Amino acid sequence: MDEQPKRSLFRVAKAFPPGDDEYLSPQDKGRKQPASLTTEQRRSWDALSFWDSEAGARRVGQDFPKAGAFIVRYDIPENSGIRYEQTLEPGHYDLRGDKDELERCLVPDFCENV
C-alpha cells in the first residue's frame, strides 16, 4: 500500500459527518466582514478554520458552543490540492480547497465530543 505523507487537522462540527454548510467559509456564507477585523482576519475570511490538535478544536467548541458539539479530524495528503497555512494564532490553520476533496479526507472513525 502506497502511504503518502499526511497532515492531520481538526475542527468543530455540528454533525458527523459534517453537512455541506460546514464546508463554507464566512465569505461563502455571504457574511459581511466587520470593520474591526485585523488585516490577517480579513485574509482568512475566505478560508475554513482548522486546528493542529484536538485540544485546539475543543477550546473553540467550549468557547463557542454554537460552533458544534463534535471534533472531527481530516488527514490531508500532501498532493490533495488542499492548501493550508498557519494563521491568526499558534495552532490555527486557514484551509482552502475543493470541498469534495476535503470530504474525502475526513477520518471516518474519528469523532469526539467537545
What DSSP assignment string belongs to 37-100? --HHHHHGGGSEEEESSHHHHHHHHHH-GGG-SEEEEEEEETTSS-EEEE-SSTTEEEEES-HH
Which residues on neighbouring strands pair with residue 10, listed in sequence order?
A: 51, 73
Q: Residue 41 above 90 pLDDT? A: no
Assess contact for 53 and 10: CB atoms under 8 A. yes
**pLDDT at residue 68, as a whole number:** 94
| pTM, rounded to two decimals | 0.88
Calculate ∠ Cα 83-102-84, nearest 5°.
20
Q: What residues does each domain of the chain span?
A: 6-28+39-113
Model confidence at 1, pLDDT cuts 50, 70, 90, reads very low
β-pairing, 48-51 vs 83-86, is unpaired
pLDDT value for 2: 53
How do residues 60-104 score in pLDDT, each as one tens digit? 999 999 999 999 999 999 889 999 999 988 999 999 999 999 999
Residues 7-23, mean pLDDT to the nearest whole number: 95
Q: How far apart are CA 44 and CA 113, in angstroms?
A: 26
DSSP summary character for residue 27: T
Grid cell of 92 as nine digits: 490555527
Give per-residue pLDDT as tens, 52-68. 999 999 999 999 999 99
